[in-house]
Amino acid sequence: MSAHCGPVSARAVTGRTRLALVGSPNSGKSTLFNALTGLRTKTGNYPGVTVARYEGVARVGEHEVVIEDLPGTYSLDPISPDEQVVADVLDPGNPDLGTPEAVLVTIDATTLRRSLGLLAQVMQTGLPICVVLTFRDELARRGGSLDVAALRRALGVPVVGVTSGSRNDLAELQSMLLDRSAWERPVVPPPTDPSQRRAWVESLLHSAAYEVPEADRRTRRIDSVLLHPLWGTLIFFATMFVFFQIIFTVATPLQDAVQSVFDRLGTQVTEHVSPQLLSDFLGNALIGGVGGVLVFLPQIALLFLMISLLEGSGYLSRAAFLMDRLMAKAGLEGRAFVALLSALACAIPGIMATRSLPSAKDRFATMMGAPLMTCSARLPVYVLLTGLLVSPDTRVGPFGAQGLVMFALYLAGAFSAMATAWVFKRFSSRSGPVLPFYMEMPSYRLPRLRSVADAIWSACKGFLSKVGRIILLVTVGLWLLLSLPMHSDAHLRSAGIDPADRTAVSAYEVDHSFAADIGQAIEPVFEPLGFDWQINIGVLGSLSAREVFVATLGQVAAAQNPDQPAEALTHMTYTDGPHQGEKLFTPATTAALLVFFLYALQCMSTIGVMRRETGSWRWPAVAFGYMFVLAWTMAFLTHTVVGALT
Amino acid sequence: MNGGSSAPVVPMHPEAGADPQTVRWVIPAGTLPVVGRMTEAPDELGAMLHSGDIASIEVETRAVVIRLADGRSWSALGAQVRDALSTALRHPEQWRPADEVTEDDLLRAALQDVLAGPAGDYIRSHGGEVTIVSAHDRRAEVRMAGTCTHCPAAGFTLHSRLESELRTRFPDLVELRATEESAKAPRGTWLTVRRRRTPS
């Protein structure tokens, strides 16, 4: 799962030998790709569709071979856009995409029957093929067997067994890559007729003396608990619950450490930097705003650490399976859950994951719901506001109350996403055929350190680049709005402010800035929710990216009390209007804000991706509109209810 | 393509033969009740044999070896032959061998197939030699020579490897035994494996 980063467009590398890597999901394809190409990879997009294109260069001795990692697919019958891409790339008659010179097909030895079906289709393209047999060690461990020499003879193409981590196996494959003229070609390609193809596969399995592996005993025993309708569901929720507890308890000290660095920087800047304007810019906009967002890096890293651990161990597929039942209630299938689950990282991969849904109706319904899942961009906002709402010392039984609130927010997001999908599915016209849901339950495996590290690194990189670009830009813009117009000393004195008192001056400046004017102008809209102009500016800014809200509040707070911005935030008050002087972040307002962020579509990238995936502005407009109305209504209800209770 | 038959498609796959004109189509043992060279095959396959596209069709216990005529190529005719063969395999009774095939011939071919396969490889791998002495009336006799001669495990190999593999190819087998001269050792008697044919 990648976070924060929309796909980057890239052209195919040309001029060198090009090979394509084809295989089913979980067949060890990506591991092989990484092993062959190392870190020399680049990501791009196929023209016209948002299917990520991965290319890497494998160096074998003096030679370089370009390897393209095609999306994982179970067959070349194009049902979903992913499979369409694989079929198009392998089709020599397709002029838009360069056809590779040869194809490496990864075949999982533990699911040979199904893998051979895909291989048959790839062999029909007539391209030179080398089969890479993976998971032979697991086949042996689970009591299965396979005569590789017989399989090779029966297929009529080279078969290389590769055990992950074995350099010898890899070297054998690499030498195969160089000498493609020696690859045997099948005397007669496999049949195209499905029943004849099944018979072909049957005959191969028999010739290769294939013994089907037993279901991994360990896996079977774990599954009997984890997939149990009652225990499994309970364990799933318990896992998720612990998940959020960890995000809080483990991240807090790290976060404090980062915070203290920025605090010290801020003090240094205010003490040593002149002129005043530069010091303001550095202290408020950069350190207060952007720094305020950067503080959440540990949480982002932790979130992805845990998601990738769950994914790498094989538990995530089980979660999708368990949720399939629940999704059925929303009229959707398990595949939609996978998309919603990806949206936990970021709505963009979530929306892109809807490509695996064959039914257009399901796609749109899932796409409308996906932005409601609690993405990692909401995390900083939630953490900040939860901190204002509940003290870290409050405990409910053995659990921290902050973690509980967080868990509730995630649950509410997930529930709302499914409810939305249900509504959209319900009220969209005509029903299509129900397509079977097919998902693999990989054996439980120890997560690979490399993939976990990759996931965390790419998430952090995405977060940092987002902070460096969009958030920095908007923050600087907001800083200008908050600092302008400049007031002369005479003006300040006439307003009763001592120009020498910096805190008082910056507070006055913020209160009379352009930003304040804008915030006050839209006040009637948000007034029922308890928001004042300061929050309004934050909300307005957060329409570009949610984290900007944190940056804005950071700036406002830093302007009011540069030495202790966190303190300033807690004690922030209404600066005008009927509530002037009252505490701004009352439980009612904070809760309303949380709920507002839960529902509002405040992410330009999501809107952009939605536009591209659906091909029109209609769906993004619908999504933005319904989510804004929903956010306002729910926040209003929350404000009223919590206000009445406290 | 289905030849109008509702019988299931027979599992088969091609393997490269000894020369470019020849392809071994591997099929399950017992699919066809014939062995040897064919003069007649059902439908399209027979037509291709008569038209001269196919030079010869040789049936083995677990394969149909098809040789294309010179000047024809598998890349051009492969799919056509495959479909024709797939259809023809559903009509085993319409295959006609050049010479009349008796049950003894089928048994001998099955035994040859066993000895040419992994069981034979295993015996040859440690210096054993097995040759067919006779195949008659659902009984077969082999001579186990070379290192087999005084090997105490010879009887076990005969029973557990050769006989069981032969039985998968020729289910009506009554017995497979080793000739007396291959068992000069005093323990020779237990080399014989007898099995009453159970009425089925």
Nearest CB among A187, A191, A206 relative to B23 is that of A187
Per-residue pLDDT of B140-167, as tens digits, reads: 988 888 777 777 777 787 777 888 888 8
Residue B188: the pLDDT is: 44
> What integer pLDDT is reported at residue A50 of this predicted model?
46
Average pLDDT over residues A392-409: 77
Among B8, B10, B78, beta carbon nearest to A188: B78
User: Would the CB atoms of A196 and B83 count as touching at under 8 Å?
Assistant: yes
Of A342-356, A563-577, B40-54, give the lowest mean pLDDT range: A563-577
CB contact under 8 A, B16 and A204: no
Q: Is the dihedral of CA A62, A68, A74, A76 positive or negative?
A: negative
| Distance to chain B for A240, nearest Cα, Å | 48
Are B11 and A199 in contact (CB < 8 Å)?
yes
Residues of B in contact with A190 (CB under 8 A): 13
On chain A, the residues whose CB falls within 8 A of the CB of B86 are 191, 196, 199
Task: Write the Ramachandran bin of A598: left for phi over 0, alpha for psi from -120 to 50, otherwise beta.
Answer: alpha
In angstroms, the separation between the Cα of residue A105 and the nearest Cα of chain B is: 19
Give me the pLDDT at residue B9, please.
87
Averaged pLDDT of chain A = 77
Judged against a pLDDT cut of 60, whether residue A457 lies above it is answered with: yes
Q: Which chain B residues have a beta carbon less than 8 Å from that of A202?
A: 11
* Chain B interface includes A149 (CB < 8 A): no
A448 in contact with B, Cβ within 8 Å: no
Query: Percent of chain A having pLDDT more than 90?
Result: 5
- The span from the first CA to the last CA of chain A, in angstroms, equals 41
Superfamily of domain A18-214: P-loop containing nucleotide triphosphate hydrolases (3.40.50.300)
pLDDT of amino acid B7: 65
- The span from the CA of A498 to the CA of A493, in Å, is 6
By the 8 A CB rule, do A23 and A130 touch? no
The interface predicted TM-score of the complex, written ipTM, equals: 0.75
Domain boundaries, chain A: 18-214, 224-376+411-427, 449-645
Of A470 and B154, the one with more pLDDT: B154
Interface test with B, best of A112, A159, A203 (most B CBs within 10 A): A203
Residue A11 has a pLDDT of 41
| B78 has a chain A CB within 8 A of its CB | yes
Of A126 and A352, more confident: A126
Q: Which of B1, B2, B79 sits opposite A188 (nearest CB)?
A: B79
* Cα–Cα distance, B184 to B191 (Å, whole number): 11
Q: Measured between alpha carbons, how far is B142 from B133 in angstroms, rounded to an integer?
A: 5
pLDDT tens digits for range B173-186 = 888 888 865 544 44
Query: Smallest CA–CA separation between B40 and chain A, in Å?
Result: 23
Contacts of B12 in chain A (CB under 8 A): 199-200, 203
Q: What is the pLDDT of residues A592-617, one digit of tens each?
A: 888 888 888 877 777 877 777 777 78
What does DSSP assign to residue A212?
P
A193 contacts in B (CB within 8 Å)?
1, 83
**Closest in A184, A195, A207 to B13, CB measured:** A207
A362-386 confidence digits (pLDDT tens): 777 888 888 888 877 788 788 888 8
Residues A104-160 pLDDT 10s: 999 988 888 888 989 999 998 888 999 999 888 888 888 888 888 889 989 999 998
Give chain B's domains with CATH numbers.
13-97 (3.30.1370), 103-180 (3.30.300.130)
DSSP-based three-state secondary structure for A275: coil
- Between chains, do A198 and B9 touch, taking CB under 8 Å as contact? yes
Which of A193, A195, A204 is nearest residue B13 as measured by Cβ atoms? A204
A chain contacts of residue B1, beta-carbon cutoff 8 Å = 193, 196
* Tokens 């550095």 sit on residue: A282
Q: Is B194 exposed, middle or buried (0-12, 13-18, 19+ CB in 10 A)?
A: exposed
More confident residue, B107 or B1: B107
Q: What is the pLDDT of residues A49-82, one digit of tens each?
A: 445 567 888 887 778 888 888 887 888 877 666 7
One-letter amino acid at B37 equals R
Minimal CA separation from B103 to chain A, in Å: 25
Number of Cβ within a 10 Å radius of residue B160: 13
Q: pLDDT class for A622, splitting at 50, 70, 90?
A: confident
The yes-or-no verdict on residue A83 having pLDDT over 70 is yes
Please calculate the CA angle B65-B67-B72 and round it to the nearest 5 degrees: 145
Nearest CA distance, A182 vs chain B (angstrom): 15
Q: Is residue A10's pLDDT more than 50? A: no
| Residue B184: predicted pLDDT | 47
Q: What is the pLDDT of residue A4?
A: 40
CB contact under 8 A, B86 and A186: no
pLDDT tens digits, residue range A312-339?
787 877 877 777 777 777 677 666 776 7
Which DSSP string corresponds to B148-188? TTT-TTHHHHIIIIIIHHHHHH-TT--EEEE-GGG--SGGG
Supply the pTM of this predicted model. Answer: 0.63
Contact yes or no for B26 and A202 at CB 8 A: no
Residue written as token pair 């309970």: A234
B74:A198 CB<8 A: no
Q: Smallest Cβ distance to B13: which of A184, A193, A200?
A: A200
* Residues of chain B neighbouring A206 (CB-CB closer than 8 A): 11, 28
Judged by CB atoms closer than 8 Å, whether chains meet at A188 and B12 is answered as no
d(CA A614, CA A363): 9
Residue B101 or residue A79, greater confidence: B101
Distance CA A613, CA A339 (A): 14
**Beta-sheet strand order (sheet of B36-40):** B13-16, B22-26, B63-68, B54-60, B36-40, B96-97
> What are the contacts of A251-256 at 24+ separation with CB within 8 A?
A251/A298, A251/A299, A251/A302, A252/A392, A254/A298, A255/A295, A255/A296, A255/A298, A255/A299
With tokens 């294109």, the residue in question is A53
Across the interface, which of B1, B23, B28 has its CB nearest the CB of A188?
B23
Compute the radius of gyration of chain A from its Cα atoms. Answer: 28
In this predicted structure, the answer to whether residue B22 has a pLDDT above a threshold of 90 is: yes
- Phi, psi (rounded to 5 degrees) for A503: -60, -45
Mean pLDDT within A278-290: 71
pLDDT, average across residues A492-502: 69
User: Residue range A242-267: average pLDDT?
Assistant: 76
Residue B68 pLDDT greater than 50, yes or no: yes
Sign of CA dihedral B93, B94, B99, B100: positive
Q: How far apart are CA A321 and CA A227, in angstroms?
A: 8
Residue with the larger pLDDT of the pair A520 and A7: A520
Using CB atoms, which residue from A186, A190, A203 is nearest to B26? A203
Give the distance, in angstroms, between the CA of residue A145 and the centroid of all CA atoms in the same chain: 39
Are the C-beta atoms of A55 and A13 separated by less than 8 Å? Answer: yes
Closest chain B CA to residue A197: B11
> Which has the minimum average pLDDT: A412-416, A548-552, B54-58?
A548-552
CB-based contact A526:A539 (threshold 8 Å): yes
Q: Is B13 on the interface with A (CB under 8 A)?
A: yes
